[in-house]
Amino acid sequence: VNQVVTHLIQAIRSREGSFSSIERLGAGSYYEHVKVFEPNEFDIMLVMPVARLQLDECDDTGAYYYLSFKRNPKEKYLLKFLDEDGKLSAFKMLQALREIIKQEVKNIKNVEVTVKRKKAGSPAITLQIKNPPAEISVDIILTLEVQQSWPPSTQDGLKIEQWLGRKVRSKFRNGPLYLVAKQNKKEKVLRGNTWRLSFSHIEKDMLNNHGSSKTCCESDGPKCCRKGCLKLMKYLMEQLKMRHTKQLEKFCSYHVKTAFFHSCVMWPKDTDWQPGDLEHCFQKYLGYLLDCLQKSQLPHFFIPQYNLLSPEDKASNYFLSRLLNYELNNGFPTLHE
């Protein structure tokens, strides 16, 4: 994967075009060290720095935005990606990047790499790497990095003061803002000009430095079972999704991860997650997730007004909560298989 991605980045940069300033950022479960099953899926964010953008909310979630330039941008090469309303078109940018990548994979000699067909509304360009030892898919996600303050919808999010501390919260909030080319499905006409805030760089940081004491789970520090709980829940969820694909298609590992972060805030001390209490901690965390499913209410960790479990999906929320209750009351048969 590294070989393929490094090749692509060097090739894209050498083209003197719109994407010559991209950097690479690993995101997702592999880089958070919470991958369950084989490492056969990777998310690579290709980050493009942009000086300043105008952000306009495009719905009530506080997560999706239209982007435009305030005045003459330094990044003149981005002007060709504006649509007729002067909005930066995620669709146009993805298409341009996709074309470059399609041409460049042909030059990768010792590995067989193909670009998968475009999935409607997906922010990713997916590469398929064939042959040794298994097939690997790599999602390349176009990401804008903007040096400006976070929008108002994030004001009351990231409530980590009791868990990771006030300083850590301000450190995160003073960092840049990331936006990914993600289609907002709620739009009546899918024009491909919406972008979604992304916090995966901070999620990775929180998972890798998850203790209220700085040494939690370091080689010589005290251990906790936070990550163990998250991995168990991800495993359980993936198994249930394999069995009930249709009914659970609305759910993804992000729901599980968001509920996990809320649990870390509710039980902020490292002593709340003793390694010997894995079973008890897992059940508390599951209890919180079940509560969210009952109420059809799971607030986005960074954008509290954005509910990740919409009430119009009540039926699938109840379906999952029945399955999880069955697991809980029968000693987790799925985990024992």
Instruction: State residue 83's pLDDT score.
Output: 92
The yes-or-no verdict on residue 26 having pLDDT over 80 is no
Share of the chain above pLDDT 90, in %: 71
Cβ pair 139, 118 in contact under 8 A: no
pLDDT exceeds cutoff 90 at 38: no
Q: What are phi and psi of 188, to 5 degrees?
A: -65, -50
Q: Kindly tell me the sign of the dihedral angle through the C-alpha atoms of 163, 166, 167, 171.
A: positive
For tokens 């009546």, what's the residue?
188
Q: Is the per-residue pLDDT at 16 higher than 90?
A: no
pLDDT digits (tens, 9 = 90+) for 253-312: 999 999 999 999 999 999 999 999 999 999 999 999 999 999 999 999 999 999 999 888
pLDDT value of position 168: 97
Q: H or E segment at 143?
A: strand 136-146
Dihedral, CA atoms, 312, 199, 85, 125, nearest 10 degrees?
-90
**Which pLDDT tens digit goes with each residue over 200-212?**
999 999 999 999 9
pLDDT of residue 288: 98
If you classify domain 1-200 with CATH, what class do you get? alpha beta
Q: For residue 180, what are its two tokens? A: 């990914």
pLDDT higher than 90, residue 1: no
Q: Say which amino acid occupies 86.
A: G
- CA–CA distance, 180 with 312 (Å, rounded to integer): 25
**What is the pLDDT, as a whole number, of residue 101?**
94
pLDDT at 192: 78
Report the distance separating Cα 312 and Cα 196, nearest Å: 21
Q: Determine the pLDDT at residue 81.
A: 94
Which pLDDT value is given to residue 153? Answer: 97
CA dihedral of 47, 50, 52, 55, whole degrees rounded to 10: -50
Per-domain residue ranges of the chain: 1-200, 216-335
pLDDT for residue 59 is more than 70: yes
Residue with tokens 């998972």: 207
pLDDT of residue 176: 93
Q: Can you tell me the distance from the alpha carbon of 138 to that of 118, in angstroms, rounded to the nearest whole number?
A: 13
Nearest to 321 by CA among 240, 246, 260, 252: 240
87-96 per-position pLDDT tens digit: 999 999 999 9
Tell me the pLDDT tens digit for each residue of 69-107.
Answer: 987 777 788 889 999 999 999 999 999 999 999 999 999
pLDDT at 189: 60
pLDDT at 187: 63
CB 332 within 8 A of CB 233: no
Dist CA 81 CA 118 (whole Å)? 19
pLDDT at 132: 65
**What does the pLDDT read at residue 306?**
96
**Residues 138-164: what's their mean pLDDT?**
95
**The pLDDT value given to residue 148:** 92
Helix (H) or strand (E) holding 235: helix 226-243
For the stretch 181-237, pLDDT in tens is: 987 777 666 677 899 999 999 999 999 999 999 899 998 899 999 999 999 999 999
Region 144-165 average pLDDT: 96
pLDDT for 283: 97
Cα 80 to the chain's mean position, in Å?
A: 28
- Rg (C-alpha) for the chain, rounded Å, is 21
Question: Looking at domain 216-335, which CATH architecture does it have?
Answer: Orthogonal Bundle (1.10)
Whether the Cβ atoms of residue 81 and residue 93 lie closer than 8 Å to each other: yes
Average pLDDT, rounded, for the chain: 91
Q: What is the mean pLDDT of residues 314-331?
A: 97
Contacts within 8 Å (CB) and 24+ apart, 118-124: 120/183, 120/190, 121/182, 121/183, 121/185, 121/190, 122/183, 123/90, 123/94, 123/180, 123/181, 123/182, 123/183, 123/196, 124/43
Helices vs strands, H then E, count in the chain: 9, 9
Taking every pair of Cα atoms in the chain, the longest distance, rounded to a whole number of angstroms, is 63
